[in-house]
Amino acid sequence: MKQLSGLDATFLHLETSAQFGHVSSLSIYTRPDSPDYRPYDAWKGQLQRRLHLLEPLRRRLAEVPLGLDHPYWIADPDFDLDFHVRHTAVPPPGTDDQLAVLAGRLVSRPLDRRRPLWLSYVIEGLADRRFAVLTIVHHATIDGASGVELMTLMLDDRPEGAPVPPETDGWTPERPPGDLEMLARGALGLARKPARGLLLAAWSAREVGRATRNPVLVRAANDVRRSLRGPLGTVLNLGRQRPEEPDQPSAMPSVRPPRTPFNGPITPHRKLAIRSTSLDVVKQVKSALGVTVNDVVMAACAGGLRTWLDRRGALPTDPLVALVPVSVRTGEETDRWTNRVSMLSAVLPTDEPDPVRRLRRVHESMASSKELFSALPADRLTDFAEFPPPAVFARAMRLSARLRLGSRLSPGNLVISNVPGPRAPLYAAGARLEHYFPVSTIVEGQGLNITVQSYLDRLDWGLVSCAELLPDVDVLLADILDEMDALAAAAGVAVPGSEPAAPAKPRQARSAGGRARTRG
């Protein structure tokens, strides 16, 4: 058995009837030339041959009674691949918008915790010999970076396939543990948590004090650490120190977000919008203006949100606040199938009318947030969830979700994530992967998530919203892509097939294709 980390368990505790903990991906493939090709059979066989490489697919939860400790993963003795791989289709004519509607409905339901926490839907009926695969995996199992790794293990790097490494150790299902055994494990796990939590808090306060040049924090933290030196400190391995760094303190961005139409109580219903942009155009913009690819993505989001909100008379005078997931993987993790992710907040300058000035402000805000974020090294950022007593922690998380505290106390307006993906083509049983659209999750108080995944020479966009708070998420995505074109024009970057920009007006999102976009 393998225990979930505190961060992994958090994604379980936060689930309600309207807030789900799973993340998804919508992959679109082109069929091979074979007339007998059956996408469902091909995809199921692809996974069957690789199950021994895909540890998260064959493990399920074993809960500790009374919530005394975090749950454990066990190798599911009742694993059934037929339960997890499912078959469906979109009606004619099989457009991308129809696919997005179906995917939004499929992710609008929780996963069965009595089974391994994933599902995969093979979706047929798409035009132009295409089919799609919607894979849903619980966030307790993977984060964005490990999700990309899981995808690459599922697929081949050439059309004819590649030899699959044999299963050397053999897979042995585990006997589900009894309540007494799990109670004993839970009791043993509680002994060290309070002292370790106190020391971690002291260490973190000292690091933040150094980063902000606050002598009171540094002195208080050192007093706590000195009082806990000796055998306890040796056992808890907290003697490591970082060298002194002469960095200048950075300005902390405001983290009090204004209200928008998509910041409110969410429902279980989801809407999805998918499109693609040229990665090469984005790279030319970032080089021409001296920023990063992520800055360009964030600025395009800011401009699109400004247009969308202004059209509805709902544009706040203050800028929005974006929460940006940050991978804290060091490459030295012993367990790759777990969450190593944290979050920083950044000002999203929706109050700035000029696209280039908006991009400059995004760049400055992200630089400031990253500098403050670096005050705590990566190997400590996810440790805090380990130390509260799990039973109390779980109840607090559930109470927060039930009381909809996120709608009142949310630290951000939305989440924006940019995940780097493979630069070489991938295949599933001979079918070429054309697009890999991310389908992330939304939380109470934040009815919008924007996630971008790079693949080959494209950026694949996936916008997920609460259907009641933001029903026209496809229009918002069109506004964002218009802003991307505006940034390219401002940077003097030619966009293939571009036309003079027209004034923004309410409309349905254009079908993918043309300009900087490719069909998804």
The residues assigned a catalytic role are: 139
Per DSSP, the three-state class of 131 is: strand
Q: Kindly state the helix (H) or strand (E) to which residue 291 belongs, with its residue range.
A: none
Q: Cα(292)–Cα(79) distance, rounded to whole angstroms?
A: 44
Alpha-carbon 9 to chain mean position = 16
Give me 279's structure tokens: 């990665």
Q: Do the Cβ atoms of 307 and 126 come closer than 8 Å?
A: no
Counting every residue written for the chain, the total comes to: 520
Identity of residue 230: G
Can you point out the beta strands (E) in 349-446?
414-419, 427-428, 431-439
Q: Do the Cβ atoms of 314 and 350 come closer than 8 Å?
A: no
Identity of residue 276: S
Q: Cα(158)–Cα(147) distance, rounded to whole angstroms?
A: 20
For residue 337, the tally of other CB atoms under 10 A from its CB is: 18
Q: Is 308 exposed, middle or buried (0-12, 13-18, 19+ CB in 10 A)?
A: buried
Q: In angstroms, how far is the first alpha carbon of the chain from the final one?
A: 40
| Tokens 């229009």, located at residue | 475
Alpha-carbon distances, residue 46 vs 36, 75, 81, 151, 161 (angstroms): 16, 20, 12, 12, 10
Q: 137 forms bridges with which residues in the sheet?
A: 23, 118
Identity of residue 402: R
Per DSSP, the three-state class of 108 is: coil
